[in-house]
Amino acid sequence: MSKRCCAASCFNAVTTNRSVEYFGFPKSNEYAAAWAKAAGREDLLDKSLSNIIKYFLCSEHFSDDCFQDPPHNRKLKKTSRPVVVPIPTIFHNNFNECVSKALKEERTSMSVIEVDNIVGISEQMSIPETVFVDDSLNESEEVQSLEPIVIEAVGDVVISNEQQTSDYAEPTDIEVIEQYADLKVEEEEHNLSFIEDTATPEQLMHSQQEYDDGDTFERTTYTELIVGPNSCRLCLSIKGNELFVPIFDYGSEVAYILDTLLPGAVKPDDGLPQQICLACLESATRCLSTIEKFKAIQDKLKELQ
C-alpha cells in the first residue's frame, strides 16, 4: 500500500506529494505514543505497537533541527542507544493544498465527449467522431478562437443554453464544451445501457442526483445509480480510481473522520464501497472541523461555570 501521512488534517501521500519524506512510527512504545498524540491521533493508542509502526508521518511536521540533512529533510536525527527520536511539532490543515489541487487538476484534465450528430461541419474540415480537449490550452482562449455552432451530444452530456437558443446560419467550426460533473464518461448512453443490462435489481437504487456546471448550463437529473466497488461510499457517484481516497488504507485519516461523523456506520467488512471521492472528503473534513470547534467552545463554557 502507498504511504500516507496519518496526522489529523494532513492529506499528504506518496501518490500526490513526493516532495516530502514519509517516516514510519518509532518502534518504541514511548515515542510511538508521543507521535500519535502530537499528530492528533489518540485513536492509535488503542492499537498494538506492531500495528502502530505501520503508520507514517511526513517531514512537514518536523522542524529543521530534527533532520541530519537540512534543508532536504530526508533523514531524521535519531539514536538507538539510548533511544532518542525527534518529536513532530508542526501541524496545520493542508487540505486546500492537497485535495483542492487534485480537484482542480481533475477539472482541467483532458475530457472526451462523443458526438452523435454534428450540424454544419465546414467542408474544409474532417472532424473525428471523438473530440479531445487538450488540457494545456487555456479554456477562455480556446472558446474565443472557435466559431460556435449547435451540436447534439450522446446521452446526458450538458449543452450550453446559449447554443440551444441561438440561430447559427453558417457555422464554420465546432465549439467543444468541457463538462465537469460527478458522473463522467461512464454516464454516457452506451455505458448506461451496458450497466442496465448487466446489473442486478438489488444493485439499482432509485435516487436523484442533480449537478450543475454553472448558470449558463442546463441542470441534468439522474434517476438510477449503481452501488458497487467503483462508487463513492458517501454520495454513490462513480469516478475513476485515481479520484477516490481509500477509507481503511494504512495511515489514512479518512476512517477516523467518518467514524467521528457516522459512528459505526462504515466498516471494512460490510461489503459496501470502501472509498470516498475527493468532494465528499472535503465536505466531511469541513464538517468535522466545525464540530470540533463547537465542542471546544462548549468545553470552555463549562470551565467558566
Instruction: Give the span between the Cα atoms of 218 and 212, in whole angstroms.
Output: 7
> What one-character DSSP code corresponds to residue 4?
B
The Cα 160–Cα 220 span in angstroms is 12
Strand segments (E) across the chain: 22-24, 56-58, 79-80, 83-84, 112-118, 130-132, 151-153, 204-211, 220-226, 244-246, 275-277
pLDDT in tens, 137-178: 444 444 344 444 444 444 444 444 444 444 444 444 334 333
The torsion defined by the Cα of 97, 98, 100 and 105, in degrees rounded to 10, comes to: 110
Tens-place pLDDT, residues 104-148: 555 554 443 333 444 444 444 444 444 444 444 444 444 344 444
Give the separation between CA 153 and CA 187, rounded to whole angstroms. 12
pLDDT at 25: 94
- What backbone phi and psi angles, to 5 degrees, belong to 22? -120, 120
Element (H, E) at 32: helix 29-38
Question: Quick one: pLDDT at residue 221?
Answer: 43
The pTM score is 0.36
235 annotated as ligand-binding? yes
Q: Is the peptide bond before 82 cis (omega within 30 degrees of 0)?
A: yes
Helices (H), 158-277: 161-165, 189-198, 254-261
Domains within the chain, CATH numbers bracketed? 22-92 (no CATH), 108-165 (no CATH), 185-291 (3.40.1800.20)
Is 232 assigned to a binding site? yes
